[in-house]
Amino acid sequence: MKSKLFHTLVLSGAFFLFVVLCSALFLLDRFEPVIAEDIIKNLPYSGVSHDVTAVLLNFRALDTLMEVGVIFLALMAIYTVKPHFRYKPLSFENTITNTFVALLFPLIVLCSFYILYGGSYQSGGAFAAAALLAGGIIVLRLVKPRYLSDLQELSLRFVYVSGLLFFILVGIWTLLSGSFLEYRGDIATFFIISIESVLTLSLAVILATYFINAVQRFK
């Protein structure tokens, strides 16, 4: 009884919200690209030739730094509930999965490099490459659980932080001679490529860790 009333209330509220939001958005005039003009003007000095990459890693680099911070924070948050899970591999050795992974994983690494370095002139960049590489690591871990299974906890934690730490160190370096995360021209290209490379590796490992924790064998 009460549930039906609640359902009706929510659904009618949702319909009302739909109408309100649609009308609010359709009342908008044509979008004026104020900032986009600034982006085009400053693009030659940013060190890359793709506008989205320039925004992410030069003009609004602080946002990207905070975003990496969020990913790392989510990892720490997962560590608070991690002791609940023990990792067990999901499969047993067989030829099909072994061959498939042997062919697939190098291909994934190659593709993620392409996406990473293509980010300077087309869509791509560190996050997409990290996501792909993380998928590859998860597949590898599922099929061949003994690879890298004797990694020390300390070195693993160091890999987690390396991306964020390197980004901050670049920022501190630029802080000494100007503003935090300020770079222009050729030095900008160098900084951006190095930050993205370290970030890809570290983020790939973090993203893989998010999900490998959940693997468990069901009897």
Partner 1 sequence: MMTNLLIPLLLITPLLFGIFGFVFPKKATALGIVFGATFLFLSLKLLYSVSENSIEAYYFGAFLPPLGITFEALPFGSLILAISSLILFIVFIYGAFFLNPKQSSLFYPLSSFLTLGFVIVYLSRDIFNIYVGLEIVGLSAIALTVLQKDLESIHSALVYFITTLVASGFYLLAVAILYAKYSVLDINALSLVIQNDFTTLVAFGFMIVAFLIKTAVFPFSFWLPKAHANALSPVSAILSALVIKTTFYLLYLFASSMFTFGINNYTILGYLGVGAVFYGGIKALLATELKMLIAYSTISQVGYLLLVFALDHPYAYYAMVFMLLSHAFAKAGMFLASGAIIHRAKSQNITKLQGYASITPLAVFAIGFSSISLIGLPPSLGFISKWYYLQSAFESSSWIFFITILGGGILSALYLFKILILFLQKPLQKIEEFEKKHDKNSSKIVQLCAFALSFLSVFLGFFSNLLIGFLG
Partner 2 sequence: MSIFIIAGVAIFIFGLVGVILQKGFIHKLVSLNIFTSGIFLIFISTTVHHEKADPLATALVLTGLVVTLGATAFALMLIRAYYKKRNQSENCNDD
Task: Please say whether the dihedral angle defined by the alpha carbons of residues 78, 83, 85 and 88, taken in this order, is positive or negative.
Answer: positive
Among 115, 124, 127, 163, binds partner 2 (CB under 8 A): 127
Residues 54-83 that bind partner 1 (CB under 8 A): 58-63, 66-67, 69-70, 72-74, 76-77, 79-81
Burial class (CB in 10 A: 0-12, 13-18, 19+), 81: exposed
Under 8 Å between Cβ of 135 and 112: no
Q: Tell me which stretch binds partner 2 (CB under 8 A): 7-15, 99-107, 151-159, 164-172.
A: 7-15
Stretch 82-121: interaction string toward partner 2, x if CB under 8 A: x-xx------------------------------------
Query: Where do the H-state alpha helices sit in the chain?
Result: 2-26, 34-42, 51-54, 61-81, 95-118, 126-143, 153-176, 185-212
Backbone phi, psi, residue 53, to 5°: -65, -40
Stretch 21-40: interaction string toward partner 1, x if CB under 8 A: x-xxx-xxx-xxxxx--xx-
The two tokens of residue 200 are 């890809």
Q: Indicate whether 20 belongs to the interface with partner 1 (CB under 8 A).
A: yes
The two tokens of residue 103 are 């062919």
Which residue ranges make up the site for partner 1 (CB under 8 A)? 20-21, 23-25, 27-29, 31-35, 38-39, 42, 58-63, 66-67, 69-70, 72-74, 76-77, 79-81, 154, 157-158, 160-161, 164-165, 168, 171-172, 175, 178-183
